[in-house]
């Protein structure tokens, strides 16, 4: 059967993925082998595959496939995250389009809609991962809101509450007026923006001629002012302290207080205190026992407490109040300035500080554990430098309690019940339990009222933050909270692969929950033996950016379509492209070009093209092997000697590379590992090995040589498999007839054996001489086919080299020579070049341009002169000789000696030219 001249990924990729699934190769069950566990960072259930997923899942797949080939019990658990805010927003929007309001249909009906929507559209991303080749154990697919995982969330909530680590409190929170929920601090994204600073006059109540000017960027909140604060040492305002002023427009009287918090240099040095609408003002207000006046509705409109502009949106009110202030003579001036403004991560709405009653996790003890885990090296970060960022966040003075309640319905409802009779406030009685029945028992006990029934209780309306379920992911995907069997085997996971942007959201919190709960779920002996950490290593990928260094995102439209890329280059090609410039932690500039006319991103990539070309190279190597005619007759001729040499050499090179690869895998230098394999295959195997064993035109190849070649090719396919699974599986099967279950995906990663380093050096010289001869041909316009004669200067080295079996024949073949011989004499009318330290003379039939030759030699001589003098300088420095280690000094001496030999040779050649 003849093969197409080009590799066709479309034809093979689906075929092999289905085959692997059919064979159940990705499924794992606990057994006696060492486990290699990876849990996927669960993408949003509503998500579609983007470049970041491609990168991060390619890396995970490489690690998992490599582990599988290395004989470990590889288990990669996939799944999705319910993503409460994002999903709820999506469903709300969808319902609105159908004319349905969330509030009208109620909680249960809404959840029905949401689940229906999730069943229909959720999890598309998991199918897309299959296109990429992800070898997940799909039988283990989990969802953060499925019953078992939700159960774990409730368990943990109750557990932490009982330990006194979860509390309910009235605090200043970050409010998203669009999603109508509080956010955790981490969900607020600060952006630098242009803003205006309004300078407003507040007149004294005791003297209408005196006023104090304050600077604010939020004039629409002055109706909520409760004081003006100045610095106690500010000389300008000493006479104002203790007096009162009128709030402009509404003429409410407020005091002027002194507080060292005020920055004398900022604005006018006088600060309006608005506790309901500013975090810092709230703190000052509390300190000075000032009242709180909240003038905003949940959706960011002014309420009746504002008394003016009631019903207007905060930004509309800001515009309108400017006019009123001007008319009232209260506006002194407006300044432009830059400031950073907090936006909601999910809805991008400007967040509003808001006083509200929420649930919090006390983070101090957790932070200490999490910091220690990485500091001690139990959890390793790649790259290590990520620890700095981690540390600064977890330090005691930086860590803040985690607000975990959200005013949403899509998520796990908070397992807390209250008495219907009590007013909702900080002091009301609360019964935290996994079920309403348990809560009722508590209520009866605590109130001493046995007649209470379920009807007297009401459950907290809120749900927990999505991250409060995903922080349990490594524990809950193995149902650790229900059954210790699987988790005892699979925990801790090996490595977590994720972007550094969710280091705080997710990584740190998983470390916290891991240390907190795994000792409760797993046998103490096992924990002692394997550790309590959720993963042994974290591989932080960079952010994928476009060629203008912007983060690739759907909203910017600067990300190529991941699936279109796979269509264009094949999954293997895209995997190659995405990985090849992705060192851990460094951001990746993905090279997809933009259409110069439309400015739309094109689904093209040079790097993926390189990956596709590599597949094609492999494919053609296969075609070469298949095209040869085979002979059973073994001849002990030159070709045989070359084949033997090539065979042993490639074997040595593979072994040498395997050692390097192991090191690269151990340190997670995967892009380097890929380049290493790429070079081994393209340069060593294709360019040298196959060219060496290639029979002359029309000649057959010896059966044994072909078998050796196939064996090497097969080994190389196993080595490349983790990176490019599809093409390697295809070639693996094309190479020979395979028995049932004899597949590349489950082949055995080669073990390193002793190899001949000297042979590698000898072939390096062969390559060097060949390249030199080819260069001379190029320079003298001698055809590649024209056979030439080469002489080598006689020396111990050349003598030994040329007499290694196969070298002479190989050299004749690669350099197209008719004769190679050793000589003591200078050979006239030849081009001289250096190979190693020795001189080579190439006889060419064209007349040598003596002047050109001289120029070339003089240039080289100059180079060595400089080189030698720099080494001599170093060596003549006594301090160097005394303080440098002996082997370094010896190396320098060797460098000098070699340089001198080379220089001598070149000088002789120059003299010879006359």
Q: Which of residues 340-399 bind RNA (CB under 7 A)?
A: 340, 385, 388-389, 392-393, 398
Question: Least distance from C-beta 724 to RNA, angstroms?
Answer: 13
Least distance (Å) between residue 539 CB and RNA: 14
Strands 35-39 and 73-77: parallel
d(CA 545, CA 880): 47
- Minimum distance of RNA from residue 868's CB (angstroms): 7
Q: Is the peptide bond before 156 cis (omega within 30 degrees of 0)?
A: no
Q: Nearer Cβ to RNA, position 10 or 799? A: 10
Look at residue 444 and give its three-state secondary structure: helix
Q: Which residues in the 749-778 window bind RNA by CB under 7 A? A: 770-771, 774-775, 777-778
First to last CA, the chain: 61
Give phi and psi for 157, each to the nearest 5. -60, -50
Q: Within positions 389 to 448, which residues make up the interface with RNA, using CB under 7 A?
A: 389, 392-393, 398, 400
- Out of 426, 885, 886, 914, the only residue in the binding site for RNA (CB under 7 A) is 885
Q: Can residue 672 be called a binding residue for RNA (CB under 7 A)? A: yes
User: Contact between 624 and RNA (CB under 7 A)?
Assistant: yes
Q: Quick one: 178 or 587, whose CB is closer to RNA? A: 587
CA dihedral 862, 867, 870, 874 (to 10 degrees): -150
- Report which of 133, 147, 325 is spatially closest to residue 221, judged by C-alpha positions: 325
In the window 773-812, what residues touch RNA (CB under 7 A)?
774-775, 777-778, 784
Taking the least distance from each CB to RNA, the nearer of 39 and 588 is 588
Contact window for RNA (CB under 7 A) among 304-312, 325-333, 436-444, 690-698: 690-698
Beta bridge partners of 834: 839
Q: Which of residues 189-208 bind RNA (CB under 7 A)?
A: 190, 192
User: Could you tell me which stretch among 14-22, 87-95, 184-192, 556-564 binds RNA (CB under 7 A)?
Assistant: 184-192
Question: Are the C-beta atoms of residues 636 and 805 closer than 8 Å to each other?
Answer: no
Pick the stretch among 31-39, 47-55, 479-487, 881-889 that binds RNA (CB under 7 A). 881-889
Nearest to 371 by CA among 353, 395, 355, 352: 395
Closest residue by Cα to residue 788 from 749, 823, 806, 815: 815
Per residue in 232-258, is it b (16+ CB within 10 Å) or e — as a string? eeeeebeebbebbbbbbbeebebbbbb
For the window 566-595, what string marks contact with RNA as x by the rule CB under 7 A? ---------------x-x--xxxx-x----
Instruction: Reduce the secondary structure of 659-722 to three states and give it as a string.
Output: HHHHHHHHCCCHHHHHHHHHHHHHHHHHHHHHHHHCCCCCCCEEHHHHHHHHHHHHHHHHHHCC
Distance CA 313, CA 302 (A): 6
Q: Which residue in the set 96, 606, 736, 805 belongs to the binding site for RNA (CB under 7 A)? A: 606
The DSSP output letter for 185 is: G
Binder of RNA out of 107, 877, 907, 908 (CB under 7 A): 877
Residue of 354, 612, 839, 902 interacting with RNA (CB under 7 A): 612
- Contacting RNA (CB under 7 A), which of 6, 27, 446, 805? 6
> At closest approach, how far in Å is the CB of 164 from RNA?
25
In the complex with RNA, the residue whose CB is nearer, 140 or 277, is 277
Q: How far apart are CA 380 and CA 668, in angstroms?
A: 11
Asked whether the beta carbons of 287 and 275 are under 8 A apart, the reply is no
Applying the rule CB under 7 A, the residues between 537 and 556 that interact with RNA are 547, 549, 551
Q: Which helix (H) or strand (E) holds 611?
A: helix 606-627
Strands (E), 750-825: 788-793, 817-823
C-alpha closest to that of 318 among 236, 228, 195: 195
Name the residue nearer to RNA (CB basis): 77 or 601.
Answer: 601
837 binds RNA (CB under 7 A): no
Q: Which is nearer to RNA, 101 or 191 (CB)?
A: 191
Question: Where does this chain touch RNA (CB under 7 A) — which range of 34-42, 195-203, 616-624, 900-908?
Answer: 616-624
- Does residue 283 touch RNA according to CB under 7 A? no
Asked if 875 touches RNA (CB under 7 A), the answer is: no
Q: Which among 867, 866, 896 has a CA at the least distance from the CA of 881?
A: 896
Q: What Å distances lie between residue 174 and 293, 517, 519, 530, CA to CA?
A: 17, 29, 34, 40
CB of 537 to RNA, least distance (A): 16
Q: How far is the CB of 51 from RNA (least distance, A)?
A: 14
Residue 146 Cα distances to 28, 118, 141, 244, angstroms = 21, 12, 11, 58
One of 616, 647, 702, 798 touching RNA (CB under 7 A) = 616
> Does position 894 bind RNA by CB under 7 A?
yes
Kindly tell me which residue out of 375, 805, 891, 904 binds RNA, with binding defined by CB under 7 A: 891
When asked if residue 617 is in the footprint of RNA (CB under 7 A), the reply is: yes
Q: Which residues contact 111 (CB under 8 A, 6 or more apart)?
A: 409, 410
2 contacts RNA (rule: CB under 7 A): no
The piece of 93-101, 227-235, 686-694, 743-751 that touches RNA (CB under 7 A) is 686-694
Residues in contact with RNA, counted by CB under 7 A, come to a total of 77
Least CB distance from residue 104 to RNA, whole Å? 37
Smallest distance from the beta carbon of 687 to RNA, in angstroms?
A: 4
Residue 246 backbone dihedrals phi, psi, to 5 degrees: -95, 135
Chain residues 500-539 in contact with RNA, contact rule CB under 7 A: 501, 504
């Amino acid at each position: 059967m003849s093969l197409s001249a080009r590799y066709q990924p479309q034809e093979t990729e689906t075929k092999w993925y289905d085959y692997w699934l059919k064979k159940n190769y990705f499924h794992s069950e606990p057994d006696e082998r060492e486990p290699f566990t990876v849990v996927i960072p669960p993408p949003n259930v509503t998500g579609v595959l983007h470049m970041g997923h491609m990168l991060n899942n390619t890396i995970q797949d490489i690690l998992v496939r490599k582990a599988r080939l290395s004989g470990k019990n590889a288990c990669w658990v996939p799944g999705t995250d319910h993503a409460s805010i994002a999903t709820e927003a999506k469903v709300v929007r969808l319902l609105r389009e159908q004319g349905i309001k969330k509030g009208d249909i109620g909680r249960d009906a809404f959840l029905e809609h949401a689940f229906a929507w999730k069943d229909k559209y959720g999890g598309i991303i998991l199918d897309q991962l299959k296109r990429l080749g992800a070898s997940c154990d799909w039988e283990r697919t989990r969802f953060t809101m499925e019953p078992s995982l939700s159960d774990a969330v409730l368990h943990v909530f109750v557990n932490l509450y009982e330990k006194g680590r979860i509390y309910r409190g009235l605090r200043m929170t970050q409010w998203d007026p669009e999603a109508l929920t509080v956010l955790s601090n981490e969900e607020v994204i600060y952006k630098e923006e242009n803003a205006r600073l309004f300078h407003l006059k507040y007149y004294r109540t005791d003297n209408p001629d005196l006023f104090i000017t304050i600077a604010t960027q939020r004039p629409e909140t002055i109706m909520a002012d409760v004081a003006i604060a100045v610095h106690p040492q500010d000389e300008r305002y000493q006479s104002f302290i203790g007096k009162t002023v009128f709030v402009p427009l509404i003429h409410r009287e407020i005091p002027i207080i002194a507080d060292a918090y005020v920055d004398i240099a900022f604005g006018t040095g006088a600060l309006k205190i608005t506790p309901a609408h500013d975090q810092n003002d709230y703190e000052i207000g509390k300190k000075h026992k000032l009242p709180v006046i909240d003038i905003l509705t949940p959706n960011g409109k002014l309420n009746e407490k504002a008394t003016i502009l009631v019903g207007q949106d905060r930004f509309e009110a800001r515009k309108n109040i400017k006019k009123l202030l001007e008319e009232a003579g209260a506006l002194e001036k407006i300044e432009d300035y830059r400031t950073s403004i907090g936006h909601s991560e999910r809805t991008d709405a400007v967040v509003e500080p808001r006083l509200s009653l929420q649930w919090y996790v006390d983070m101090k003890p957790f932070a200490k554990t999490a910091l220690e885990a990485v500091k001690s090296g139990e959890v390793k970060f790649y790259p290590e430098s990520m620890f700095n960022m981690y540390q600064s966040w977890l330090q005691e003075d930086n860590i803040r309690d985690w607000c975990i309640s959200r005013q949403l319905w899509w998520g796990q409802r908070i397992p807390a019940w209250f008495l219907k009779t009590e007013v909702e406030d900080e002091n009301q009685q609360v019964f935290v339990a996994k079920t309403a029945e348990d809560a009722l028992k508590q209520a009866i006990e605590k109130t001493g009222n046995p007649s209470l029934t379920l009807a007297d209780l009401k459950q907290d309306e809120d749900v927990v933050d999505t991250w409060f379920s995903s922080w349990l992911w490594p524990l809950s995907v193995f149902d650790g909270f229900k059954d210790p069997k699987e988790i005892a085997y699979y925990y801790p996971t090996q490595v977590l692969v994720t972007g550094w942007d969710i280091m705080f959201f997710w990584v740190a919190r998983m470390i916290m929950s891991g240390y907190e709960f795994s000792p409760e779920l797993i046998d103490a002996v096992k924990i002692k033996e394997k550790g309590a950490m959720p993963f042994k290593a974290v591989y932080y990928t960079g952010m994928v950016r476009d060629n203008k260094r912007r983060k690739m995102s759907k909203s910017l439209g600067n990300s190529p379509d991941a699936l279109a890329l796979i269509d264009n280059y094949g999954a293997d090609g895209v995997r190659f492209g995405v990985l090849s410039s992705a060192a851990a932690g460094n951001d990746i500039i993905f090279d997809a070009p933009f259409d110069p006319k439309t400015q739309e991103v094109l689904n093209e990539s040079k790097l993926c093209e390189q990956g596709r070309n590599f597949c094609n190279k492999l494919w053609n190597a296969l075609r070469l092997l298949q095209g040869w005619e085979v002979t059973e007759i073994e001849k002990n001729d030159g070709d045989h000697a070359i084949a033997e040499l090539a065979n042993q050499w490639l074997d040595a090179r593979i072994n040498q590379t395997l050692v390097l690869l192991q090191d690269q895998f151990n340190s997670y230098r995967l892009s380097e590992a890929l380049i290493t394999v790429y070079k081994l295959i393209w340069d060593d195997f294709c360019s040298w090995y196959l060219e060496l064993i290639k029979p002359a035109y029309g000649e057959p190849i010896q059966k044994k040589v072909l078998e050796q070649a196939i064996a090497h090719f097969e080994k190389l396919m196993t080595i490349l498999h983790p990176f490019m699974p599809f093409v390697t599986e295809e070639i693996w099967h094309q190479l020979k007839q395979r028995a049932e279950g004899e597949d590349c995906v489950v082949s055995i990663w080669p073990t390193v054996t002793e190899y001949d380093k000297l042979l590698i050096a000898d072939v390096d010289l062969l390559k060097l001489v060949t390249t030199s001869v080819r260069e001379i041909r190029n320079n003298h316009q001698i055809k590649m086919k024209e056979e030439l004669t080469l002489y080598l200067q006689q020396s111990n080295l050349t003598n030994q080299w040329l007499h290694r079996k196969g070298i002479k024949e190989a050299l004749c073949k690669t350099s197209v020579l008719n004769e190679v011989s050793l000589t003591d004499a200078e050979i006239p009318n030849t081009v001289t070049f250096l190979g190693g330290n020795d001189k080579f003379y190439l006889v060419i039939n064209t007349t040598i341009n003596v002047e050109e030759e001289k120029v070339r030699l003089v240039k080289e001589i100059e180079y060595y002169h400089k080189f030698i003098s720099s080494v001599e300088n170093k060596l003549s420095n006594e301090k160097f000789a005394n303080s440098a280690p002996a082997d370094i000094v010896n190396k320098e001496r060797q460098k000098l000696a070699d340089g001198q030999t080379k220089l001598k040779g070149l000088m002789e050649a120059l003299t010879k030219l006359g």
